[in-house]
């Protein structure tokens, strides 16, 4: 683009044709790409190539392959900068809780339709963390009118 600008082609026209924002061009002129960014781009491209060749490779094997290709990068750098991980991810274990009996009886029997006003109310309690501690909101809703008939906020 600098050569076109030197030949008299306006930067705005060149950016519009290339579908490139003028601000990005001028920012690049003021702050060109550093050597570290250039090296990172090459590292990312090489890591993606290794990952495409064998998607089962995790970040450790990708780092080993990059070392064989002549790139010096730790496993941590490969993992954090590239975001390239193994295609086969281990399942996370649960917290070891077993489902127990319901806390309360299901008086509604999963039937959430009302035949008239004030026949069926639903309640919900929400916990909201704030800078000063937790705030609890309890709301009661009338199913017939779909309105909140009462609420309480406690901190």
Whose CA is closest to 86, among 94, 95, 77, 78? 78
- Please, which pLDDT band fits residue 136 given cuts at 50, 70 and 90? very high
Provide mean pLDDT across the span 106-127: 87
Give me the residue spans of the domains in the chain. Answer: 1-32, 33-89, 121-154
Tokens 């906020």 -> residue: 153
Which tokens go with 125? 């309690």
pLDDT for position 82? 60
Sign of CA dihedral 71, 73, 74, 78: negative
- Please, which pLDDT band fits residue 109 given cuts at 50, 70 and 90? confident
Provide long-range contacts, Cβ within 8 A and 24+ apart, for 100-105.
none
Provide mean pLDDT across the span 77-92: 61
**C-alpha distance from residue 138 to each of 104, 127, 132, 135 (Å):** 17, 9, 19, 10
Comparing 40-44, 78-82, 104-108, 143-147, the range with the smallest average pLDDT is 78-82
pLDDT for position 140? 95
pLDDT for position 64? 84
Is the pLDDT at 94 greater than 60, yes or no? Answer: yes
- Please, which pLDDT band fits residue 92 given cuts at 50, 70 and 90? confident
Is the pLDDT at 81 greater than 80, yes or no? Answer: no
Q: Which residues of 40-60 are buried (b: 16+ CB within 10 A; e: fewer)?
A: beebbebbeebbeeeeebbbe
> Does pTM top 0.95 for this prediction?
no
Is the pLDDT at 85 greater than 60, yes or no? Answer: no
């Amino acid at each position: 683009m600098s050569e076109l600008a030197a030949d008299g082609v306006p930067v705005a026209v060149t950016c519009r044709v290339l579908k490139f924002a003028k601000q990005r061009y001028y920012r690049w002129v003021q702050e060109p790409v550093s050597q570290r960014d250039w090296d990172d781009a090459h590292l990312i491209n090489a890591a993606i190539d290794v990952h495409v060749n064998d998607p089962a490779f995790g970040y450790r094997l990708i780092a080993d392959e990059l070392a064989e290709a002549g790139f010096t990068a730790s496993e941590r750098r490969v993992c954090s900068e590239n975001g390239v991980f193994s295609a086969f991810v281990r399942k996370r274990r649960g917290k070891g809780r077993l489902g127990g009996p319901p806390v309360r009886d299901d008086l509604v029997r999963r039937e959430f339709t009302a035949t008239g006003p004030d026949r069926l109310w639903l309640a919900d309690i929400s916990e909201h963390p704030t800078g000063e501690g937790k705030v609890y909101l309890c709301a009661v809703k009338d199913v017939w009118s779909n309105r909140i008939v009462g609420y309480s906020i406690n901190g």
